[in-house]
């Protein structure tokens, strides 16, 4: 089941040369995450989908904003209460910023196609970083372009590294680490799929930077890397799924970014243990020893982060359409699906144990856990409507339920603001905020 990452990856595994100054110290972690908010797609470096904020159990609908097109990724939130979200709008803006307390639009801009595939990541200064087809870009809190760096493919949601740089992978399998101040490459780009040779380039057609983005939701072969990496800030090891050219499904892969004077990106391991592959971003446990992910056959997996060996698996009964929420103490709540319900399992070391299950709820969103044993997710209301439920994460009991006015279909993420605000975008293109 486990194997060392070989072929194209091993060929490209030589230590890269330094292309820009600004690498941080290897002896301590640089904190660039706006931890008081929801700075990354899945909240933090380990993709936990949790918040240190004590969640409110008395929410009310505050405001909503239609964005002019479908939404595919979470909203992020800076520590100052400024939110950021992307949409696949045919005309006008496709990157938006709103102030949470009022719903006022702070700014918006139009980027290239592909921006809708990502959640903007926010640093402690409320600078934002977001990909578009063929480039990664950074904006100030006021919407001024700071820099734009060309890449191959479309960057999916990024992460900060332990030395304070910006790491991301495009859907075509190019890994980049950039200096967040300048956008310069800290190491040479690492291509999971080797680029054509000079002779091959002569007769080959250029691959569009937005190729396969529509397949990323399902994690099929047209989108080799479909999700956000989880990264261990201490060790620099990061985890993601990769559908290689000769694979039958997406594998779970571990690689390592090493900063300092001779920064490099090197392979660690790869496993094909996930039946049917996966489209979900992996989660990393609080202690960095376990990687959690769901496969496309309705199973939740725990994988040894050091070796890639399976630790346990648990049949959740449906193919989850998103990444699970994983608390610091290993309470795991999978995302919903067209036929998925709400449940929680506890990591018991060598196995998982069901804590509670709510088969009476059709979960059509992605759960978020907060301090105070409070969680949020979206469920079906009536025949076609949607509502946000507040629930007790230890018992599964519904604490409150709030309608998403006019919403249908499903939502694509749940984020929590610095003052306990809850944000959830609907797939058809509207951002809903509760306070």
pLDDT, residue 276, reads 81
Among 22-31, 169-178, 324-333, the minimum mean pLDDT is found in 22-31
pLDDT, residue 2, reads 42
| Structure confidence by residue, pLDDT tens digits, 338-348 | 899 999 999 99
Domain 2-434 has CATH 2.130.10.10: yes
pLDDT surpasses 90 at 134: yes
Please give the Cα distance from 290 to 223 (Å, whole number).
Answer: 25
Domain ranges of the chain: 2-434
Please give the Cα distance from 138 to 143 (Å, whole number).
Answer: 9
Nearest CA to 154 out of 110, 95, 112, 201 is that of: 112
What is the average per-residue pLDDT within 229-244? 96
Residues of the chain by 3-state class (helix, strand, coil), percent to 5: 5, 40, 55
User: What's the longest Cα–Cα distance across the chain?
Assistant: 64
- Is the pTM higher than 0.85? The answer reads yes
What is the average per-residue pLDDT within 180-198? 90
What is the average per-residue pLDDT within 115-128? 96
Please give the Cα distance from 422 to 435 (Å, whole number).
Answer: 7
CB 52 within 8 A of CB 368: no
| End-to-end alpha carbon distance in the chain | 46
Q: How confident is the model at residue 173 (pLDDT cuts 50, 70, 90)?
A: very high
Q: How confident is the model at residue 321 (pLDDT cuts 50, 70, 90)?
A: confident
Please give the Cα distance from 82 to 80 (Å, whole number).
Answer: 6
- Both tokens assigned to 262: 């001779």
Burial class (CB in 10 A: 0-12, 13-18, 19+), 199: exposed
CB 340 within 8 A of CB 327: no
Please give the Cα distance from 98 to 81 (Å, whole number).
Answer: 9
Among 49-63, 150-164, 202-216, 221-235, the minimum mean pLDDT is found in 202-216
CA 100 to chain centre: 21
- Sheet of 331-333, strands arranged across: 325-326, 331-333, 341-347, 352-362
| Structure confidence by residue, pLDDT tens digits, 47-69 | 999 999 999 999 999 999 999 99
DSSP-derived secondary structure for 131-160:
EETTEEEEE-TTS-EEEEEE-SS-B-S-EE
| Structure confidence by residue, pLDDT tens digits, 388-435 | 999 999 999 999 999 999 999 999 999 999 999 999 999 999 999 999
pLDDT surpasses 60 at 7: no
pLDDT, residue 17, reads 36
Please give the Cα distance from 23 to 141 (Å, whole number).
Answer: 24
Adjacent-strand bridge partners of 425: 431
pLDDT surpasses 60 at 22: no
Please give the Cα distance from 149 to 19 (Å, whole number).
Answer: 13
Share of residues in the chain with pLDDT > 90 (%)? 82
Please give the Cα distance from 327 to 346 (Å, whole number).
Answer: 10
Please give the Cα distance from 325 to 222 (Å, whole number).
Answer: 27
Q: How confident is the model at residue 197 (pLDDT cuts 50, 70, 90)?
A: low
| Structure confidence by residue, pLDDT tens digits, 76-95 | 999 999 999 999 999 999 99
Q: Kindly report the average pLDDT of the chain as a whole number.
A: 91
- Sheet of 385-392, strands arranged across: 50-54, 368-371, 374-381, 385-392, 398-408
pLDDT, residue 14, reads 37
Please give the Cα distance from 199 to 133 (Å, whole number).
Answer: 26
Distances (CA, A) of 410 to 158, 338, 363, 413: 24, 9, 9, 9
pLDDT, residue 199, reads 63
What is the average per-residue pLDDT within 132-157? 97
Q: How confident is the model at residue 200 (pLDDT cuts 50, 70, 90)?
A: low
């Amino acid at each position: 089941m486990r194997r060392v990452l070989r072929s194209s990856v091993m060929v490209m595994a030589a230590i890269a040369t330094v292309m820009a100054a600004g690498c941080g110290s290897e002896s301590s972690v640089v904190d660039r995450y706006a931890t008081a908010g929801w700075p990354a797609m899945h909240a933090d470096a380990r993709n936990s989908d949790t918040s240190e904020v004590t969640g409110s159990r008395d929410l009310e609908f505050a405001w909503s904003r239609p964005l002019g097109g479908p939404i595919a990724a979470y909203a992020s939130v800076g520590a100052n209460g400024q939110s950021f979200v992307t949409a696949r709008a045919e005309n006008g803006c496709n990157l938006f910023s709103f102030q949470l307390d009022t719903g006022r639009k702070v700014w918006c801009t139009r980027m290239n196609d592909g921006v809708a595939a990502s959640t903007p990541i926010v640093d402690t200064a409320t600078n934002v970083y977001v990909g578009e087809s063929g480039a990664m870009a950074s904006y100030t809190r006021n919407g001024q372009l700071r820099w734009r760096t060309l890449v191959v493919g479309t960057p999916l949601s990024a992460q900060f590294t332990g030395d304070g740089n910006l790491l991301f992978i495009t859907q075509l399998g190019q890994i980049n680490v950039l200096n967040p101040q300048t956008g310069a490459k800290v190491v040479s780009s690492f291509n999971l799929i080797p680029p054509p040779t000079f002779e091959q380039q002569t007769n080959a057609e250029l691959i569009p930077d937005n190729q396969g983005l529509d397949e990323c939701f399902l994690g099929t072969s047209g989108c080799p890397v479909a999700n956000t990496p989880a990264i261990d800030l201490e060790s620099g090891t990061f985890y993601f799924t990769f559908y290689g050219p000769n694979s039958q499904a997406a594998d779970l892969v571990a690689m390592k970014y090493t900063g300092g004077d001779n920064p490099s990106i090197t392979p660690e391991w790869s496993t094909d243990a996930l039946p049917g592959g996966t489209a979900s971003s992996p989660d990393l446990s609080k202690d960095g020893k376990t990687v959690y992910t769901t496969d496309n056959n309705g199973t939740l997996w725990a994988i040894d982060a050091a070796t890639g060996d399976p630790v346990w698996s648990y049949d959740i009964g449906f193919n989850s359409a998103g990444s699970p929420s994983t608390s610091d103490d290993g309470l795991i709540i999978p995302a919903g699906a067209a036929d998925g319900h709400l449940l929680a399992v506890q990591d018991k070391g060598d196995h998982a144990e069901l804590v509670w299950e709510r088969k009476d709820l059709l979960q059509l969103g992605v759960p978020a856990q907060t301090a105070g044993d409070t969680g949020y997710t979206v469920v079906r209301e009536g025949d076609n409507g949607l509502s946000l439920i507040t629930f007790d994460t230890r018992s599964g009991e519904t604490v409150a339920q709030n309608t998403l006015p006019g919403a249908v279909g499903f939502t694509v993420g749940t984020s929590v603001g610095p003052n306990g605000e809850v944000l959830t975008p609907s797939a058809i293109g509207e951002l809903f905020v509760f306070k």
